[in-house]
Structure formats: structure tokens, C-alpha cells
Amino acid sequence: MQDGDATEADIEVGDLNEDQARAELARLAAAIARADTAYHTEDAPEISDAQYDALKARNAAIESRFPHLKREDSPSDVVGGAVAEGFAKVRHDMRMLSLANAFDDDSIVDFDAQVRKFLGLGDTAVRYTAEPKIDGLSLSLRYEGGSLVQAATRGDGSVGENVTANARTIDDIPETLRAAPDLVEVRGEVYMSHSDFTDLNARQEEAGGKTFANPRNAAAGSLRQLDAEITRTRPLRFFAYAWGAHSEPLAETQMGAIERLRTLGFQTNPLTALCTGPEAMLEQYARIEEQRATLGYDIDGVVYKVDDLALQRRLGFRSTTPRWAIAHKFPAELAWTRLEAIDIQVGRTGALSPVARLTPVTVGGVLVSNATLHNEDYIAGRDSRGQTIRDGKDIRVGDWVQVYRAGDVIPKIADVDLSKRPDTARHYAFPTLCPECGSEAVREDGDAVRRCTGGIICPAQAVEKLKHFVSRSAFDIDGLGARQVEMFYHDDQLPIREPADIFTLAERDAGNVSKLKNREGWGQKSAANLFSAIEERRTIPLNRVIFALGIRHVGESASALLASHYGSWDAFEKAMTAARVGEGPEWAELTNIDGVGDVLAASVVTTFQQQAERASIDRLVAQLDIQDAARRGAVDSPVAGKTVVFTGTLEKMSRAEAKARAEALGAKVAGSVSAKTDLVVAGPGSGSKAKKAGELGVEMIDEDGWLTLIGDA
């Protein structure tokens, strides 16, 4: 945070005198404007969302105490920053995925066990590549006939930005390939070396330009320049480690493919090694970690990938990550600082989350001023099962605390130094009323979290629900992010108080005297862009709608499961309206979906029973054109749309692989047999399910029959 050394920044709002408040409002206006530019225009955020929110909240608190001091250019009145002109969008032929993360050795042993289990390999060892995880940004390079035709950033994995002109300025990216396939998309990481980063910052500083916080930000900021000539002056490098669409296989193994990428003309990482089994993987991890400090560029872990590409294909993908790879991140970085205050944030599902406000401290190159404190037990020195943590030491305001960061996650507090505890420090009393709406906040049995019972009458829950609604995996409306939603929520002329309001915004604006385009921070073009971006999302796939509702326990993959099971909004809505927790056929159908447990099911069903929530959902749906869930897999698959149950022992593949394969072919996989089951695949030892299938007259085949049916025999 750019707090500088302004002393006002340290004073609680309630203690500021008028002069201090005026100075503080000026400082906050500058800091927020700077953050807006960095975020929206330069694409290089300098502070976290939480820090930004804290600046805005402090600004608003001071304005409400000293309304007459509110500035002409008050950040409270500005909606978003200038939107960067931006790059053209590119849809990736093959999605650019991310990796699951692991933070300790045991998780790597588990990963290997899961791979072998999925493939049904028993004790047979699997070979993996282990390679450094480069801390840069990924890029996909498309070569046709051996010539570079397009370079695209990852974006959301499906759609990235066209940065071809910029990529052509990077020395490590060949314009033409030696002996190339007709088509190949080469993927890898753009990064900046430590020495180039230091030089660049020195040059920038001398020229009075912007300096970068770390090499990754510098690489991202340099690649995403609208003027490719600026990129040319930035010393970017590229390691190739993966590929997307291709006209012919690059090799039969991961190692072979990397070798092929090298002969095509790319830099590949020299620390890439083959390892058989977890022990060898962990040895290579240790070797890479040892060299980390002297590599001359940032790495943040080691990536393991199953070497045999045929096995990679069988393992396939979860929703956003491959089953055949994992990133083993280096341990968290640590630092000590003072805990200045504990604030309570109220989340979308009403959870009261304690946040530590810290004297800003650098942890692994990033300035940290907030950390999560999880819940009241964590503060008190207990874990979720009541066992003591930190030797039972509680956390108090004024304490000297140890902060750590692991990966991109929110910083956490690991320890407290009791020898530095001030005499005045008192036990923290966790609130039992919601600090936002005053409703009672209760802890249900077995829940570590205290929740506000205000539901959608609680403004904090309503705003957080809206933020979730517009998030990337939900409605993802261009120009309507968390910040804009927050501002519209508090706008009396043109409010957005619930999701349905987004879709009536343009109409209400048209009938309004104070039009959006005339407001500060907005113009004719940005207002029109917003309305058309909203219009674009009126037609939307079912799974996104379900996810966007923000129902507790219903994440992206559960939403996809529900959407593909029910197929259409009408069917889903009808079933949820009729369902009762724990009883009846609708409940049975819901909980019979493989991957839907009782807790998730109860959460959906009760949401549909809550009148206010339900009415809000209905108002939203009335605004939308919800697309039926696409039946996954080939239309001509003989099992597409069928409900299949696997039972007994499968001999040629694991249950997980059979399920993944069936789903890829468009089938629904259920956990138990019912009248809705189309097909039962029964291996040896299939007891009650096979019996039930017999009673119900459901078609039953064995594993070989299944493989023949799907053409895998």
C-alpha cells in the first residue's frame, strides 16, 4: 500500500481532527486513483483487493464523520477506472488450464497414489517429469506451416488476449520453426530475469516512469503493452513446457515432447528431469530448491507431470486442472509485524470472517497489511476440533505476530510472540451480532463459523452475493466488477440491490434524470459499453446461472453437475421447488447424483424454500434466457444422455476412470440404481445394485460389454 509515511494514516477515524481528516482524504483520493489506474489501465495491480477495499472504507468512514470535507474528486463518487482499450479477444482451441497445488511431501505421495489408483496400476511405479515452476505468465503461440501466426495470453483459460505483435519482439520466441508440424500451439511462460528486472526498474526510475514490484509484474506489464514497441524495449524471455492444438503428436512422452520443443527452436528448462515414484520426485524437488537462489529468475515450485502421454490422456482433466500434473509449491515466506486491529467482514453466505489489520510488512516481495484469522476458535488458539494450536496462545490486538504467504493465497498468521505482548492487550471478544446489519450471528453445531442470520436484508451479504454473481465463473460482465457492483449497491438513483436489477439497469437509466453517462467516472461510451455487456449476458448457460446464485456449498463443479443432470432451468427449478430435505423422490434424485452429498443438497433445497431468496431468484430468471446444459461429449455417443451406474469390481480400469470416460461421452453417472437408471455396468461382486437392476428390469452389462458399447474394446 502506498501509505508513504503520512502520520494521519495511523490514526483511527474516530480520533482524527479536522485538519488531519482533510489531509487523510487527500492522501486516500490519491492512493485510490493510483490503484484504479494500476488496476484498470496498466493491468498491474499494486495493492490487493482487500487493501483497496480498506482504503475505500476508510475514505467513506472519514467522509461520513466530516461530510463537509468531502472532496470534489471524492473516490466515493467514481465508478471504476478508465477501461484500457485492450487487446482483441482470442478463443483458445484447447483450453489453457491451471495446476492443482500441493504444499508438502505427503500431498505428492498422495498424488502419485491417486494417479496409480485411477489408472488401476496397483504397485506399479509411474514415471514423471519434474521441472521448475516458472513464476511468470503463460502464453500460447500458434504456428501454422512453421510460422508464428498468433500469440495469446491465458485470460480465463478459454478466452485470452491477442498479443501477437508483442510476442514477436521477444528473442526466445522464434518467428519460424525448424521442421515443424502443420499446426502446433506451443505453450510456456514469459518471464524476466532478476538482472533484467533490476536494470529495467533503474531505467524506469531514472526516466520518472513506473517501477515494478517484482519480476512477474514486470513481465506481465511489459507483455501487455498496447504499443509493441514498448514491449521491444523490455527484456522478456520464454520457456516452452506444454502445447495446445497440434496436427501431429509431438512425441510419446512428456520428456520427448519437451525435447521436440527444443529442436523446434525453443528454450526449455534445463532442470527438467525424469523421476520414477514419489521418492525420486521429492529428491528432484530438493535439488531444484537448492538451486533456486542462483537460477537468476523466479520460480515458485516444481511441477510434476506423468511422463507417458497415453497415460496423460487416460487421466484427463477435472474442471480446470489436469489429473496428470501437480505443482509442488515452495514453502511460505514469513515475516513478523504488529497486529493493529481485528475487523470483521461479512461474506456472501453470512460468515463473519475476522481479518487482521497489520502494520504493513514485506513478505516474499509483497507488501502485506491484512491477513485472515479464519474464525473465533483460531483467534482463541483452538482448531476446529477443539485441540490447541500455537500451544494454546490466543491472538490479541497489539500482538507481535508472524505472517506467512503461500502461493497466491491470502496471508495467514502462524504465531504470536508473547514476550512482546503489551500489558494492555486483552482477549478478543468475537461479536455475536452482525457488525453490518445488527442481526444475531450464530454458530450452528459443528460449524467453526459464526454466521449473520440477516439473509438478504444484510447489506454486506447482499453486496457479496452481487460480487459473486458478476465474478468470472459466474456472469462475468465486462465493466461490472466487484467495485462497480459495490458502488451501484449504494447508488440511490440507479441502484443494483439484487442480481435482477443488473438487467433492468439500462431501462431504468433511460427513464432517469441523472443518467449514468453524465456521472463522474462515466461517459457516453463507457455507459453504453456497460449496457451492451449486460445485454450480452442475458443469454447464459444453465451451469453459470446455478453457480452465480451463490448457494452455500455449490461451487463451479457442483453447478456443472446439477446443470447437466437437470438439463434445463425449468426442470431444475421444478425439482428444487418440490424437493424436501431428507425425503421424497426429488430428494432421492438430487442426492443420487454422483458428487452431490446431503449437505450440498440440503443447502440448495433450503435456498429454494426461503421466500425472499426464492422471489429474488424468480425476478432474476424472468430477465434471462437460460441455455439448456449442453449434453457433454459426442452427440453420436451411444451413451449420451443416459444414466449409468457402475457396480462391483472393474478389472480394466478404476471406477474413477470409468466414470470420467462415461461423462466425457455425455452419460450421467449415478451412485445407485433407480427407475431412472438406463444401464448398469456390473463387475464381479456386484450385490444389491445388480439385484435391484434385475427387479426394475434395467439393462445390465459387464465391463467388456461396456467397453464394446463405447468403442474402447
Residues tagged active-site: 133
Per-residue interface string for the shown chain with ligand IVH, residues 53-92, x marking contact by CB under 6 A:
----------------------------------------
**What would the grid cell of residue 320 be?**
480446470
Which CB sits closer to ligand IVH, 301 or 454? 301
Query: 659, 656, 635, 634: which is closest to 645 by C-alpha?
Result: 659
Helix (H) or strand (E) holding 434: none
Question: What is the amino acid identity at position 606?
Answer: T
Q: How far is the CB of 194 from ligand IVH (least distance, A)?
A: 17
What is the C-alpha separation between 581 and 578, in angstroms, rounded?
A: 10
Question: What is the amino acid identity at position 557?
Answer: S
303 binds ligand IVH (CB under 6 A): yes
Other beta carbons less than 10 A from residue 512's beta carbon:
12
564 binds ligand IVH (CB under 6 A): no
Q: Which residues pair with 301 in a beta bridge?
A: 133, 329
End-to-end CA distance of the chain: 60
**What would the grid cell of residue 696 be?**
426394475
160 binds ligand IVH (CB under 6 A): no
Burial class of 705 by CB neighbour count within 10 A (0 to 12, 13 to 18, 19+): middle
322 binds ligand IVH (CB under 6 A): yes
Q: How far is the CB of 131 from ligand IVH (least distance, A)?
A: 5
Q: How far is the CB of 86 from ligand IVH (least distance, A)?
A: 21
Q: How far is the CB of 143 from ligand IVH (least distance, A)?
A: 18
The values of phi and psi at residue 671, to 5°, are: -90, -25
Which CB sits closer to ligand IVH, 153 or 369? 153
Which CB sits closer to ligand IVH, 28 or 325? 325
244 binds ligand IVH (CB under 6 A): no
327 binds ligand IVH (CB under 6 A): yes
186 binds ligand IVH (CB under 6 A): no
Give residues 190-219 in contact with ligand IVH (rule: CB under 6 A). none
What is the C-alpha separation between 317 and 322, in angstroms, rounded?
A: 4
The size of the interface with ligand IVH (CB under 6 A), counted in residues, is: 15
Q: Are 698 and 679 in contact (CB under 8 A)?
A: yes
Of 84-92, 321-329, 383-391, 518-526, the window that binds ligand IVH (rule: CB under 6 A) is 321-329
Which CB sits closer to ligand IVH, 133 or 689? 133
Burial class of 77 by CB neighbour count within 10 A (0 to 12, 13 to 18, 19+): middle
97, 273, 679, 690: residue in contact with ligand IVH (rule CB under 6 A):
97
What is the C-alpha separation between 253 and 259, in angstroms, rounded?
A: 10
What is the C-alpha separation between 545 and 624, in angstroms, rounded?
A: 9
325 binds ligand IVH (CB under 6 A): yes
79, 170, 236, 242: residue in contact with ligand IVH (rule CB under 6 A):
242
Q: How far is the CB of 347 from ligand IVH (least distance, A)?
A: 25
Q: How far is the CB of 368 from ligand IVH (least distance, A)?
A: 21
What is the C-alpha separation between 632 and 666, in angstroms, rounded?
A: 4
257 binds ligand IVH (CB under 6 A): no
Which CB sits closer to ligand IVH, 139 or 542? 139
Which CB sits closer to ligand IVH, 327 or 590? 327
99 binds ligand IVH (CB under 6 A): yes
Q: How far is the CB of 334 from ligand IVH (least distance, A)?
A: 22
Per-residue interface string for the shown chain with ligand IVH, residues 124-143, x marking contact by CB under 6 A:
-------x-xx---x-----
Q: Are 137 and 223 in contact (CB under 8 A)?
A: yes
What is the C-alpha separation between 398 and 110, in angstroms, rounded?
A: 40
Helix (H) or strand (E) holding 268: none
189 binds ligand IVH (CB under 6 A): yes
432 binds ligand IVH (CB under 6 A): no
**What would the grid cell of residue 204 be?**
524506469
Which CB sits closer to ligand IVH, 293 or 513? 293
Q: How far is the CB of 325 from ligand IVH (least distance, A)?
A: 5
281 binds ligand IVH (CB under 6 A): no
The values of phi and psi at residue 699, to 5°, are: -60, 135
Query: 617, 615, 683, 608: which is closest to 645 by C-alpha?
Result: 683
**Cα four-point dihedral sign 133, 136, 140, 143:** negative
**Cα four-point dihedral sign 679, 685, 691, 694:** positive
Q: How far is the CB of 242 from ligand IVH (least distance, A)?
A: 5
Residue whose beta carbon is closest to ligand IVH: 138
Q: Are 43 and 224 in contact (CB under 8 A)?
A: yes
Residues that bind ligand IVH (CB under 6 A): 97-99, 131, 133-134, 138, 154, 189, 241-242, 303, 322, 325, 327
